[in-house]
Amino acid sequence: MDKPADYNTGRKGLSIRKNRQKGIIIIGFLYMTLLFLVVLAKLSSAIVINSVDSPTLKPGEEGQIRIEIKNIFSDDAQDITLSLDFKNLQFIPIGSSEQSTNEITSDDEETFTYVIKASQDIKPGDYEIPYTLQYTLNDKQSSRTGTMGIKVESSPDLSFSASTDNPIIGQQGKITLKVVNAGLSEAKFVSLKILPQGFTLLSQSEDYIGTINSDDFSSTTFNVIFNKENERLNAIVQYKDFDNNDIIENIDLPIIVYTQEQAIQLGLIKKSNFSLYIGLLIVLVLIIIFWRMIKKRRRLRKSMNKE
């Protein structure tokens, strides 16, 4: 037996009303959850680190860290203390590592300043300093921890010197270029290009050295023929510093080159005896010729006397 049409319509209407009620309940639950999370976030973050102004230090250098703390809650906060932890770090606080204030009112901020010094032997790099923030809000003590970043940088300090082997005009010799890094950070991807002047280059004009660590050196040698007296070594050195910036340095160093006569006087080479040997040989030939001529005359005289 078929059911009346108004019966089916009533069932559909009841189903729609139930679905609407379920939707309203779900939306209400989500809204309350979101509201709870917002309130919880405010309660847990009532006092926040609003900004950090930290310096970029060099080894042995002092600097100031400025930290701004803000109260984003609607109530005043009391007994706010911020402590920096330098344990196992190569930083030294100049003065206290802890700053405090009695109160920070709602939507207000307070700036704490710390003076620190990087140790002389600290390596360049990025460091994290742990901190602990403590405060009282509505008679409830709260504490939170975190880290703040600080950067230590240093540039390579390269110096150059040149030495020679057999520096005599017209002869083959060598030029050695020594690169010393007296800085506190390494010089990376070091390459060198020599610019011939006053000598003929027999080897390649460029050489890749690589990394020169702090308090270290590297040398490269070029084979040459010296053409002029007392010329200069011109070269270009290119490398990257700690921040991977390209650095180019021009080298202009004096080179002492001797003439043949100067080299003989200084004992760098021995004087050639070739001309002396030629002179002696000529004298010996003349003596032999003169002796044969005398011998021939004697024979002629003897033959004439016999006749």
Judged against a pLDDT cut of 70, whether residue 307 lies above it is answered with: no
Query: pLDDT of 44-65, one tens digit each?
Result: 457 888 899 999 999 999 999 9
pLDDT tier at 40 (50, 70, 90 boundaries)? very low
pLDDT tier at 81 (50, 70, 90 boundaries)? very high
The mean pLDDT of 130-141, rounded to a whole number, is 91
Task: Give the rounded percent of residues in the chain with a pLDDT score beyond 90.
Answer: 45
Judged against a pLDDT cut of 70, whether residue 17 lies above it is answered with: no
Distance separating the N- and C-terminal Cα atoms of the chain: 186
Nearest partner of 137 among 115, 105, 109, 168, judged by Cα: 105
- Residue 166 per-residue DSSP state: S
Q: What is the pLDDT of residue 31?
A: 61
Q: What is the pLDDT of residue 269?
A: 66
Ramachandran region, residue 79 (left: φ > 0; alpha: ψ -120 to 50; beta: rest): left
Q: Which residues contact 230 (CB under 8 A, 6 or more apart)?
A: 254, 255, 256, 257
Report how far residue 271's alpha carbon sits from residue 268's, in angstroms, rounded to the nearest whole number.
10
For the chain, the average pLDDT equals 83
Longest dimension (CA), the chain: 186
More confident residue, 262 or 190: 190
* Number of neighbouring beta carbons within 10 Å of residue 151: 14
Q: What is the pLDDT of residue 14?
A: 53
**CATH code of the domain occupying 158-265:** 2.60.40.10
Judged against a pLDDT cut of 70, whether residue 286 lies above it is answered with: yes
CATH 3.40.50.150 fits 47-152, yes or no: no
Judged against a pLDDT cut of 90, whether residue 113 lies above it is answered with: yes
Q: What is the pLDDT of residue 128?
A: 95
Question: What is the domain partition of the chain in residue ranges?
Answer: 47-152, 158-265
Domain 47-152 matches domain 158-265 at the CATH topology level: yes
Nearest partner of 76 among 144, 142, 135, judged by Cα: 135
Query: pLDDT of 188-247, one tens digit each?
Result: 999 999 998 888 999 899 999 999 998 999 999 999 999 988 888 999 999 998 888 999
- Over its C-alpha atoms, the chain yields an Rg (Å, rounded) of 46
Query: pLDDT of 167-194, one tens digit each?
Result: 889 899 999 999 999 988 899 999 999 9
pLDDT tier at 74 (50, 70, 90 boundaries)? confident
Nearest partner of 229 among 253, 264, 255, judged by Cα: 255
